[in-house]
Every structure is written in structure tokens, then in C-alpha cells.
């Protein structure tokens, strides 16, 4: 199997794994017998713990596959091009992988004061790193100069996640409207995972023509391809064409 085929297969598998993880998170959340934040689903005393670990592990593996198989992006700003998106996404994948196995304790308390536990600290830090890394990749993709359609999709996802997760996190820190904050957290998580599915799917669609030997689609630049701008060497001379 050629490298383009392997990349296309890896990206397609990542989309499927992410979709499976998203479905499992929603199944766990809807089956809970009380109000829970997303991270609380993984607490060892909760009946949803195993499902949550499988779901987050699936997300971690899928993020790693996308990082391994994605082409190099070309963000238009120097800040977002400082570190390759694949490296940032790989770090997020590792962080999510740790968070999937080191889950928070019951009620998932903030690891401060009397509620401090190393388990909650490790889970919280890894979850924040994973989410922040994924958000940074969204912005890198949103400013990419090649994949225009994917850039617009990522920009919408980044804005939505930033606003929703920001409000939810603020409510959580203030311990006010915690149920609303939990719902917003679930919505932000859903948007982020839908973005990862879209990222893997659209990149797979770009890689697949190369895998089957066809000419890949042109970037959405709104201009003609360079080949169309160059006359053929075998073009009919003007004086012959006029006779």
C-alpha cells in the first residue's frame, strides 16, 4: 500500500474513531442518573467510567492519527506557523490519552485547598492541555492559505468553542449555574469533536485522489491553475490558425 493510501486510510479511521468517541460520550451522559460534567463521567465510582475511558481513548488515538497523517499546513500568520499543527495535535493526543486513564475523582473537584488530589490535578492539567492544543490547531487551520473551505469551517468551530467553553468555565469557577455550565461544556466538547471529524474527513478527501492516482482537487483560491495559464508548446501558430 502506497504512502498516500496509508495516509487516506489513517485519516478516514480517525474520523470514524472520533465519531465513535462522540457517540459514546453522549450515551454515557444521557444514561447518567444525575447531573454530571463530562469529566465526571470517568470517575471510578460512576457506572459510566468504562464507557468514558473508551470514548476519550478513541479521541486520543484519532487525534494521533490525524497528527501522523495530515499534510503540513501553511498558516498566514507567523505566530500560528511557529510550531507545526501536527506537533501540537500530537501533544493534545498524548494529553487526552493520559486524561482518559487518569480520571478525576467523584464530583471532579478543582484540585485546590482541602479538595486537592494528585489524580484530579493530573486529569485537569492534561484535559486543559489537550483542549487548548486542539483549539490552537483550530486557529492554525483557520488561517491556512491552502485549504480555504477547511479554514472557514475551523474558524467557525474555534469561535464557537471559545465562547461556549469560556462561559461554561467561568460559571464553573464561580460555582454559579453549574448545571448550565455543564451543558455548555458538553456542547463545546461536541463542537470540538465534530471539528476533528471534519478535519480528518476533509483532509482524507484531499489525499484520496493522490492515493488512487487521480489529480487532486485544486485549492480554493478562485484562480486558474498554473497549467491553464501556460500555452501548450504544440499550440497551432496564429498564422496557420487564421488560414
Residue 192 and residue 153 in contact, taking contact as beta carbons nearer than 8 Å: no
d(CA 219, CA 75): 14
CA proximity to 204, closest of 20, 69, 37: 69
100, 57 Cβ separation under 8 angstroms = yes
Of 82 and 174, more confident: 82
- Picking from 159, 153, 160, 136, the residue whose alpha carbon sits closest to that of residue 195 is 153
Nearest Cα to 165, choosing from 194, 186, 137? 186
Separation in Å, CA 181 to CA 29, 84, 156, 234: 14, 33, 21, 67
The pLDDT-based confidence of 222 (bands split at 50, 70, 90) is very low
Determine the Cα–Cα distance for residues 143 and 73; give it in Å rounded to an integer. 9
Instruction: Give the pLDDT mean for 6-18.
Output: 95
Q: Is 6 helix (H, G, I), strand (E, B) or coil?
A: helix
pLDDT band for 47, please (50, 70, 90 cuts).
very high
Amino acid at each position: 500500500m502506497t504512502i498516500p493510501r496509508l495516509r487516506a486510510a489513517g485519516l478516514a479511521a480517525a474520523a470514524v474513531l472520533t465519531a465513535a468517541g462522540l457517540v459514546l460520550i453522549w450515551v454515557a451522559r444521557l444514561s447518567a442518573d444525575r447531573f454530571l460534567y463530562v469529566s465526571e463521567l470517568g470517575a471510578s465510582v460512576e457506572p459510566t467510567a468504562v464507557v468514558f475511558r473508551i470514548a476519550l481513548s478513541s479521541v486520543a488515538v484519532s487525534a494521533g492519527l490525524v497528527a501522523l497523517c495530515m499534510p503540513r499546513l501553511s498558516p498566514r500568520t507567523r505566530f500560528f506557523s511557529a510550531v507545526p499543527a501536527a506537533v501540537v495535535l500530537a501533544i493534545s493526543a498524548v494529553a487526552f490519552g493520559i486524561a482518559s486513564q487518569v480520571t478525576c475523582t467523584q464530583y471532579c473537584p478543582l484540585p485546590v485547598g482541602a479538595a486537592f488530589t494528585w489524580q484530579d490535578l493530573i486529569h485537569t492539567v492534561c484535559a486543559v492541555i489537550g483542549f487548548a492544543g486542539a483549539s490552537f490547531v483550530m486557529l492554525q487551520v483557520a488561517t491556512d492559505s491552502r485549504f480555504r473551505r477547511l479554514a472557514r469551517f475551523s474558524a467557525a468551530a474555534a469561535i464557537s468553542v471559545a465562547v461556549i467553553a469560556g462561559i461554561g468555565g467561568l460559571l464553573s469557577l464561580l460555582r454559579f449555574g453549574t448545571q448550565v455550565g455543564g451543558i455548555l461544556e458538553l456542547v463545546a466538547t461536541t463542537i470540538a469533536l465534530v471539528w476533528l471529524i471534519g478535519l480528518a474527513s476533509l483532509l482524507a478527501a484531499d489525499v484520496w485522489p493522490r492515493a488512487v492516482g487521480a489529480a487532486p482537487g485544486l485549492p480554493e483560491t478562485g484562480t486558474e491553475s498554473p497549467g491553464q495559464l501556460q500555452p501548450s508548446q504544440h499550440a497551432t501558430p496564429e498564422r496557420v490558425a487564421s488560414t
